[in-house]
Amino acid sequence: METAPTKYPTAALIDGQWITSSRSFAVINPATGAEIAQVPNLGAKETLAAIDAASRALPAWSAKTAKDRAIILKRWFDLVTADTEHLAQLMTAEQGKPLTESRGEVAYGASFIEWFAEEGKRAYGRTIPTTVASRRYITIKQPIGVVAAIAPWNFPIAMITRKVAPALAAGCTIVVKPAEDTPLCALAIAKLALDAGVPPGVFNVVTTMDAPVVGKVLTDDSRVRKLTFTGSTAVGKALYRQCADTVKKLTLELGGNAPLVIFDDANLGQAVAGAMASKYRNAGQTCVCANRILVQAGIYDRFAAALVEAVAKLHVAPGTDARCTIGPLINSDAIAKVETLTADAVGKGAKVLIGGAPNPTGPLFYQPTVLGGITRDMDIVREEIFGPVAALMRFETEAEAVALANDTPFGLAAYLFSQNLSRAWRVAEKLDAGMIGVNDGIFSNEVVPFGGVKESGLGREGAAEGLEEYLETKFICLGAIDA
């Protein structure tokens, strides 16, 4: 057993208490295959206890002033920021990404705590001009109540703080189910929240290998008024159906199939840098990752050559290696999917320009890959790759590019590269996605709304919109004021 680089609990958190269990499961380092910790494998009973705790804590937490909650959140932000290196080491151990990326994610995750600490003080209502002289119309914003959050493994800190921070800032309490691959970061973040003064029961963490059972308890309980989920579209649809009977408010950040469109008039250096940042960050394991790179015919060959040259400089290694730019994939299923999609593309005529095979560093490592000659009949065009494989498609006209880009049931992110302002604006408006990057491969931060359209989800995280997801608008009619 490998020693986990953690000073934090490996127990679940319910009502301010660290909960152990006779049942547990292993957390595995994807770079080495070694076990780094055992965490409790909780079930329906413990999940219900967490909802009980959140429900009990709700009245007192929601009664605090926004400023009082902000003071606690700011202390939480300070504690997270102060422990960046330790949290980054922990993240790399259980998730695998390079340490430089882990450090960046800690800062990214902390930014949501800082942002919502302030934004919670701006949950403004309004007065509405009356239609009757004896009445006054007012709206106020109130916390929606107990929240359930189901988080993914690819950003094990940021995808939790992006949900927990606005919920707490709004006056809600929350039960978090982290991904079974990466529970340690969730527990560390929760411990720092307690240290900052978040009261018992306000922030609960249920670790489990039995996601369907825990998810069913969270969706069935009428006291849980909102569910926020980041993950696959298939699971999101199942949760959507399960929430119908209690009519919960939903935020769903689901699968993507992001096109990255490069026009002939693009700055080649910008396009290559943007594609590298979007495609190969976290070994291609991001929901906004460029899944299809659409390149106009006039620049296709030059772009492909430049991209291959850049990819050749990437270094595959465990995330703790200072030279690492590509770490392991999360598990064997992820490797199998990348191998299957690559083999299907090559079998249907795609050309391997670089890579195209597992990397000898370990069983979960894959070579950074570029495939050329991708066509619409290949599975890699329709499915989310979630690995370090760039799929290049050639197009001729702007209209063709837009049609190819939108030919998917998903609509999370899209990217385009062009030096023509008119074209950039025109195409950005036509792309069916919730977020568009123009001449930029990474755009997410705490001050802008994050979310998709079509089968990529509902609602938004981050920004002012992210706070609204945890608030209800109450209308008050004040009558008989002339009596």
- The model's confidence at residue 1, banded by pLDDT at 50, 70 and 90, is low
**The predicted structure's pLDDT at residue 3:** 59
- The model's confidence at residue 343, banded by pLDDT at 50, 70 and 90, is very high
Whole-angstrom distance, CA of residue 37 vs CA of residue 241:
34
**The predicted structure's pLDDT at residue 482:** 85
Task: Spell out the residues 6+ positions from residue 233 whose beta carbon is closer than 8 angstroms to its own.
Answer: 254, 255, 410, 455, 456
The residue from 287, 324, 384, 468 that is catalytic is 287
pLDDT in tens, 192-236: 999 999 999 999 999 999 999 999 999 999 999 999 999 999 999
pLDDT in tens, 86-98: 999 999 999 999 9
Domains of the chain: 12-254+456-475 (3.40.605.10), 258-445 (3.40.309.10)
As beta bridge partners, residue 128 has 137
Question: Whole-number mean pLDDT of the chain?
Answer: 97
**The predicted structure's pLDDT at residue 5:** 60
Do residues 288 and 254 touch, judged by C-beta distance below 8 A?
A: no
- The model's confidence at residue 7, banded by pLDDT at 50, 70 and 90, is confident
Do residues 361 and 335 touch, judged by C-beta distance below 8 A?
A: no
Whole-angstrom distance, CA of residue 53 vs CA of residue 74:
24
Q: Does residue 243 carry a catalytic annotation?
A: no
Quote the tokens at residue 284: 């291609």
Whole-angstrom distance, CA of residue 305 vs CA of residue 272:
10
**The predicted structure's pLDDT at residue 6:** 64
In total, the chain counts a number of residues equal to 483
pLDDT in tens, 387-416: 999 999 999 999 999 999 999 999 999 999
C-alpha to C-alpha distances, 275 to 4, 97, 258, 387, nearest whole angstrom: 34, 18, 11, 14
Q: Is the pLDDT of residue 2 over 70?
A: no
Crossing angle of helices 99-119 and 66-82, rounded to 10°: 170
pTM equals 0.96
Beta-carbon count within 10 A of 223 CB: 13
Q: Is the pLDDT of residue 336 over 70?
A: yes
The residue from 101, 253, 398, 469 that is catalytic is 253
C-alpha to C-alpha distances, 378 to 87, 246, 348, nearest whole angstrom: 40, 40, 7
Q: Does residue 289 carry a catalytic annotation?
A: no
